[in-house]
Structure formats: structure tokens, C-alpha cells
A and B are shown apart, each in its own frame.
Chain A
Amino acid sequence: MRGRPHLYVSYESEQSLLPTWTQRVMVGLLVFLLVLIPLQGGIEIGDRLYQPVGFLGDNAWLKILSRVAIFGIGALGLNILTGLAGQVSLGHAFFMGIGAYTAAVLGGEVGKAHWGLGLPIWIWLPAAGLVAALVGMLVAPTAVKVRGLYLAIVTLGLVFIGEHLFRNLTSITGGSQSGRKFPSLDFRLWKEEEPFLAFTSDGPMWPVFNWLDWLFGPWINFPAEMSEEAKTYLALAALLVVVVVLAKNLQRTRIGRAFMALRDRDIAAEVMGVPDAKTKFEAFALSSFYAGIAGALLVAFIGRAIPEQFNLLLSVQFVVIVLIGGAGTVAGTLMGSVFVFVFPRLVQDFSGWLTETVESGGVIGSIADVFVSTGLDDPGLVSTLEGVSPGLNVSQLNVVIYGLLIIGFLIFEPLGLYGIWLRVRNYWKGWPFSY
């Protein structure tokens, strides 16, 4: 059916994950790009080294992208609950905490001040999800009873109760503001010293990537070494891809469609044989499973976390990701995750640029100088100083811009980034006759 992507000749093809070739190619390219990002390959022309996606090979960016992957996994979980099943939850941080501390107990070092069994990642990672899912099931009956904003506040209460528990269970969590060490992401078969697959140390390039060298070797130089950050990123990105496929697939299953029916018209859904309680039960369990996994990954990624990590702000961050991205869509959720972590860095770079411009003078510099203070005795709305300053300092400015972006995005496009993407797509679909 060349050229008619919306003509489906069978139910099967309509329901397939990637119905058209364009989509398949694009997703393939995207995955390829995801793999290439950390490898820091460069093309040497003359004596200069060109790196096509070089800025992403930067370790700091890899840390940011690793965070995007971890929060993407967690946000896909919230998207199941909020986007698909229509249950608003501010309790995501609580379930992440449950997952994180399950991982800590199962995978933590043996014989230290805090409980730890020293088990390998293939036990503690799924277990983190499962325990969180179990706790999610305990909470689900409340959701059957309480609806809408009431549910949002009840789950918010969960976060505070969770914080209280985490603060007081010191042998598990290390206690408030102190925290404990968490297991690393390294893959061990059992409790050996040497990891089977090391994600947290620099080392030689994985043999898996030899084919890249074989394929592009003549044109692109791939380094023989791989940084810790690159490995961690690749491991997390691989997990994210798996989770995305699962989340996307969920929408086609009986359970996923039950969720959507419940979200759109719950009574109608019930009449049509979608049991209210059971479906919410499943939604909470699934969502919490994802949250647990994300929580375990997050603390393994940081290496050390304090119980206050799992606070209301973390929950809010997830709600922001899902709603800014566009509730109910997998692509939107991922875009939201990128927004929340990549934008602050871009804003930071922008204010760095602003500082330099003002300090170096010139036309733009002197216009900006009216509003920008460069010293304690120079008034202005914002300041290039970071410490005590007239007006907002650079960090405060970054936070304010971030807040304004959230407001602006939602006023401009209440459907979120996914809505903007749809608009752009539709514009180009009709181009040059778009209006």
C-alpha cells in the first residue's frame, strides 16, 4: 500500500506497533542514533577532528541523558496510571523510594551498618519493581473509593507518610540527610568480585561495537576506550527501549484498552464489562512496577541517596514530565523527560552566554546591561553574580525561566509537547498547502 499509510487492509496491520515503513525507518534511525551518541566517533579531515554528534559524547551530557532514560522509565509508569487509566497520582516518588530501598537491601553491601544481601542486579532490579507493585496494589483500593483531585491529594499524603517511614527506618535507608550507599549497575552473575559486564568503570570498547568500526572504519575513528558514563548510558538506554516497547504494546492489549475505557467514561466501561476495581488495581500495580524499577536505577546511578530524595518535588517532576509531554502518549512522555532535564542545561548555557555578552560589551551587550547587573553597586533585574546580588542571580534566573517555560508551553499548547509535535507534523503533511 505504498503512499497510503493510513489505509489498513487488516486489523493486524492497524494494530501493529509500527504500521508504516517510514515509521520503521525513523525508529530504526533513532535507535541507531541513541547507540552512536556516547561513542564519540570522529571524522578526521586534515588535522581537525569532526564529531557529528560530538557534544553528546561529552560525559556531562551523557549523565543528563542517563537521567532522561531513568526518569523516562518512571514517567512511562506514571503515564500508564495518569495518561491511560486517568488516575492522577502525586505518589510516584513514594513507589520509587520503595523500589530504591528494596534494591538497597537486596543488592547492598553485606556486613555494613545498613542491611544488605549483596545479590546481583538481575535479582534486585526486578525485585524492586515487584515489591513496589505489591505496595501499589495495597494503595489501589483507596483509588477505587476516592476520585479525581481527592485521589491526587491522598497520593500526596502517601509521599509524606513514605518520607516519615524512610526517615525512621535507619537500618534500611541510612536515615534522614545521611543516606546510604546503593548497589552499582554492574552486572554480576552471582556475588563475584569481578562484574560480568561492567557499567561503572572505564574500559575497552565493547566487542559488540566492532561491526561499527568494520562498517565505518575508513571514514570514522572510533576510540578503543569507552567511558564509564557511556556504558552506563547505553545500559540505561537499552532498558528504556525495552520499557518503551512494553509500554507501547500495553496500549494494544486488553488491559491497556480497559485502562483507556476507564479513563474516558468509567461508568460506561463498567457497563461494558470492564471491572472498575480490578482495572484500577492493575493500573496501580503496573505503574508502581515501573516506578520501582526507575527508583532502583536512579539510586544505583547516583550511588548514594538520602531519604529526602523521594519527596513531593520528585513526584511533581514526574507529573510535569507526563503533562508537559502530553498525557497518554509514549512519545510525549519521552519528550517531556527530555524537556525536564535538557532544558535546564540549555538555559544554563544561555545565561552563561548572556553573562559573557554583557561583560564583553558591544551593541547587544550594552542593551542587556540596562537590565543586567554586573556588580554589587550596579542595579539590575538579573545579575551576572551568583552570590548576594542586586536582582536575581544566575541560578535563580535559570529556575524562573524554567517555570516560565512550563507556563508558556501549557498556555500555548495545553496538549503538551506532543501537541506541538502533532502541529508541526500536520503542517508538513499539508505543505505547501498548509494553513
Chain B
Amino acid sequence: MSLLILAQAAADSGVDKFVGAITNGLSLGAIYALLALGFVIIFKATQVISFAHGAVAALGAYLVAYFATVLNFPGGALGGPAWLQWTVSAVFAVLATAVVGLVLERVAIRPMIGEPIFSIAMVTIGLDIVIRTITNDFISTDPRPLGDPFGTNIWEAGPISMAYSEVATIIVTIVLVLAIAWFFRSRIGVAMRATAFDQEAAMAQGISVGRIFAIAWAIGAGLAAVAGIFSSVFPRASQGVSAETAFFAFRAFPAIILGGLDSVPGAVVGGFVIGLAESFAGKYMTWSGFGVGFSGIVPYLVMMLVLLVRPYGLFGTEEIRRV
């Protein structure tokens, strides 16, 4: 479907529009990929889709706004240029969010080890309600701009024109994806894969499953926070983090399913495919017969079509069914 649109798009319209659809799709896809990565890492360790992911992303973005614009900590203490101060504060806020993830796992998820997965999913819905409400109280009446250094600057090269923040989104995503890929080859990463495969067997091998859970939730929360940042800056949402930010993560669901729930490369590919599909639909599928807001459901349509052909997504592991 995407290919068809691509071909048609290239044929009948200007280069600028086409390039615009690609750049927008890539930056949107990068955010989806970050969110999807978080989902997948949590899923691989705990076999659960965290419905609290969006709330954690919003909390992370809020913490960035709070650390960078209100406290100016720890960036302000270090001094240096403004962009560096902001970056240090933002990194610190992301780490703080990872700690929140750690705490959530310890308090609410750990006691559920061995319980039916849908009961755990339900616990994450409870977490979502609690975190979202508290975050919205922090955010209060008005949206909170993140105070980021990207500004409204645009980087232009030939037909390509991208906001600095969009370039940063793509670069940070690539770096994080590489880091995660490396992580899965490290000792803890291998332990996580073992845990995902079989919790009991992993325990028997001396792997602390509890610790793996904690690490997975911390990484997931940190990734959510990074996605939260990039979904709350110019041009996507210059006004910053608001009550809407928490719902952004639901838009990444098609990405994780498309790629396969338990596949890290799948999450990345799924994120970019969905981002591009949505972007192209937004630019080209404007015929009124589709109805208002059609581009918003294109990701779900793409997801359903793919699932009919490949029931476990593009890269997901097929569940071996035994009697």
C-alpha cells in the first residue's frame, strides 16, 4: 500500500511536497520507533504491553520542562552554553524518568510475576490512570514548553527542509537504536533474552529475573521520556507537554504490531513504516470521500493488512502452539 502511494505521489506532484512527506514521515517515524522500542523491551522481559507507556512519556517530558526551565538543574550548575545546559538537564530528567520506571516495576509489577498476563496489563492500566492524573496536575492549566534550544530553526539543503529538532530526533533515535542493539549483545542483554524465552529456565541458570524486569522497565521508561521530548517540540508541538502528550503513545501501537511485539528491529522498521505511511496519507490522500482525519487511521489499516498476511508482524517470533 505504501509503495503504491509512493509511486503515485512521485508521478503527479512536486518534488518539494514529496520530500516534505519523507522528512516529516522520518521524524514522526523516529518518535514512533522510540516509543515502540520501549514497548518491545518491556514486552520482551515481562510479556506485557504497558498501557502506562504514554503516561510515562508525558511524565518524562514534564520532568524535562521542569528541570530545564524551572530548576535549570543540573545544567545551570555546570555553566557553559545554553544548549549544553539544556541537554544536561534533559539527560538528567530522562534518567529520573528511568528511576520512576524502576520504582513502578518494583512496586506494582514485581508482585505480579507469574500471574496471568492480562492481570498485569490491567495493573498497567491502573498505573496509567494514576501517573496521567498526577502528571496533568503537575502540568496544570497551560501547556509547558520544554525550553529546548532547537527553536524554530530550519535546516535546508536543496529540496530538503527540516527543523533542527527533526534532525535531532532522527540522530538521537539512530544512536539509541544502536545502543539498544549493543545492549542485547551485552551480558545483561543476553540475560534479558533468556528471561524472555523462559523465566523459570533463566532463573535456574542463575539469572535474577527480578533485576531483568527492573532494568527493562527503566530502559522502557527512559525511551518513553526521550520520545516524550521529541513529541513536545517545534514543529510538532511547540507549545510543549500538555494533557494530550500522554495519548501520543497509543499512536505507536500499530508500529509495534507491524514489526512484531518481541522484535527490536521490528519496532524500528515498524515505527518508520507507520510514520511514513501516516505522513504520505496526510499529504496525498486528501480526497473528501475518505472523510476528515483519514491519515490518523491509516496506521491501523496498514497494520491490519500486514497482520492478515503475517499474523505475528513482520519480524515477530511465531508462537509455537502445543497441545
Contacts and interface: CB of A to CB of B under 8 A. Distances in A.
Direct contact between A and B in the complex (CB less than 8 angstroms)?
Answer: yes
Interface of A: 88, 142, 145-150, 152-154, 156-157, 160-161, 164-165, 167-168, 265-268, 271, 312, 316, 319-320, 323-324, 327, 388, 391-393, 396, 399-400, 402-407, 410-411, 414
Contacts of B280: none
10 contacts: A167-B292, A266-B321, A319-B118, A396-B134, A399-B129, A400-B133, A403-B129, A403-B133, A407-B126, A414-B112
Contacts of A147: 311, 319
Interface in B79-111: 108, 111
B295 to A, nearest CB: 10
A403 B132 CA distance: 10
B239 to A, nearest CB: 19
Contacts of A149: 49, 117, 261
Contacts of B276: none
A407 B119 contact: no
Contacts of B321: 266-267
A410 B112 contact: yes
Interface in B212-263: 250, 253-254, 256-257, 261
B122 interface: yes
Given A164-B294, A414-B119, A392 B304 contact: no
A180 to B, nearest CB: 18
A388 B140 contact: yes
Contacts of B160: none
Interface of B: 49, 51, 108, 111-112, 115-119, 122-123, 125-130, 133-134, 136-137, 140-141, 250, 253-254, 256-257, 261, 291-294, 296-297, 300-301, 303-304, 307-308, 311-313, 316, 319, 321-323
Contacts of A400: 129-130, 133-134
A204 B117 CA distance: 51
Contact of B123 (A150, A312, A319, A411): A411
A290 B284 CA distance: 40
A265 B125 contact: no
Given A149-B49, A150-B316, A407-B108, 9 more contacts: A145-B308, A153-B254, A157-B297, A157-B304, A161-B297, A164-B297, A268-B323, A319-B125, A324-B122
A167 B291 CA distance: 8
- Interface pairs A-B: 4 shortest CB-CB: A403-B129, A168-B291, A157-B300, A406-B126
Nearest to B297: A164
Contacts of A320: 122, 125
A156 B303 CA distance: 11
A402 B293 CA distance: 33
A146 B296 contact: no
A160 B296 contact: yes
B129 A406 contact: yes
A312 B319 CA distance: 27
Contacts of B119: 323, 410, 414
Contact of A167 (B115, B261, B293, B319): B293
A94 to B, nearest CB: 12
Contacts of A266: 321
B36 to A, nearest CB: 12
A327 B116 CA distance: 11
Contacts of A268: 323
Contacts of B250: 156, 312
Given A267-B322, A323-B118, A145 B297 contact: no
A399 B132 CA distance: 10
B307 to A, nearest CB: 5
A164 B133 CA distance: 27
A111 to B, nearest CB: 26
A392 B137 contact: yes
A404 B122 contact: no
A93 to B, nearest CB: 14
Given A149-B49, A161-B297, A411 B111 contact: yes
A313 to B, nearest CB: 10
Nearest to B312: A150
A153 B49 CA distance: 10
Contacts of B112: 410-411, 414
Nearest to B140: A388
A407 B130 contact: yes
Nearest to B116: A414
Contact of A406 (B49, B125, B323): B125
A266 B122 CA distance: 24
Contacts of A167: 291-293
Contact of A403 (B118, B130, B291): B130
Contacts of A271: 323
Contact of A319 (B122, B254, B292, B319): B122
Contact of B307 (A146, A319, A396): A146
B115 A157 contact: no
A154 B301 CA distance: 10
Contacts of B303: 153-154, 157
A411 B113 CA distance: 10
B281 to A, nearest CB: 12
B96 to A, nearest CB: 19
Nearest to B309: A145
A268 B137 CA distance: 51
